[in-house]
Amino acid sequence: MKINWAENLRQNVHQLAESLGNLFVETFHYLALFAIGAVTAWAAVMEFLQMIEVGHIKIDDILLLFIYLELGAMVGIYFKTNHMPVRFLIYVAITALTRLLISNVSHHSPPDLGIIYLCGGILLLSFAILVVRYASSQFPSVKIEHPHRKIGAGSSEHSEVEKGEI
């Protein structure tokens, strides 16, 4: 024999705990996003002010500002969609390696094998973006309910399902 009041109480406690847990997780999530966004913006502004103080800007500095821009875009996209596009992390890595490559070539002694390693890393990361983009177009994580499109010019032809992600 099942005790209905105990089962109802158990379900209510479970729902309350789940709601409180979601509230705490989402609160931390938004606070962390605001903190990361604020720190990124602050670091970019401080770097820009330092460039003005020095009186000249090098290509390294511009690439560093691009890294801050990409980090800010990642925070914005994550804030709006609750999804972290892996491509942006790879873009940051490519920009960082490019900055290191330019710095090594323009500020240091003659080129060595390290430049080949950096170029190989950039090539590998570029290939990774290609793979990620292809995989996301062919195997979307979220499918559209009824994504149909017409084939050919005539409207009476059969339609095929189009893959895509929201």
- Regarding predicted confidence, which is higher, 44 or 104? 44
Q: Residue 161 belongs to what H/E stretch?
A: strand 159-161
CA distance 81 to 87: 15
CB 70 within 8 A of CB 91: yes
Q: Is the pLDDT of residue 46 over 50?
A: yes
The answer to whether residue 154 scores a pLDDT higher than 80 is: no
Asked whether the predicted pLDDT for residue 109 surpasses 70, the reply is: no
Please report, for residues 64, 71, 88, 98, 123, the alpha-carbon distance to residue 120 in angstroms, rounded to integers and kept in the order given. Answer: 21, 23, 19, 11, 5
| Residue 123: band (very low, low, confident or very high) from pLDDT cuts 50, 70, 90 | very high
Q: Which residue has the higher pLDDT, 151 or 115?
A: 115
Rounded distance between C-alpha atoms, residue 83 and residue 77, angstroms: 7
**Residue 18: per-residue pLDDT:** 92
CA distance linking residue 144 with residue 70, whole number of Å: 28
Mean pLDDT for 130-140 is 89
154 against 68, higher pLDDT = 68
- pLDDT score, position 150: 47
Radius of gyration of the chain (CA): 25
The model's confidence at residue 107, banded by pLDDT at 50, 70 and 90, is confident
pLDDT of residue 165 exceeding 50, the answer is: no
* Predicted pLDDT of residue 113: 85
Lowest mean pLDDT among 46-55, 86-95, 145-154: 145-154
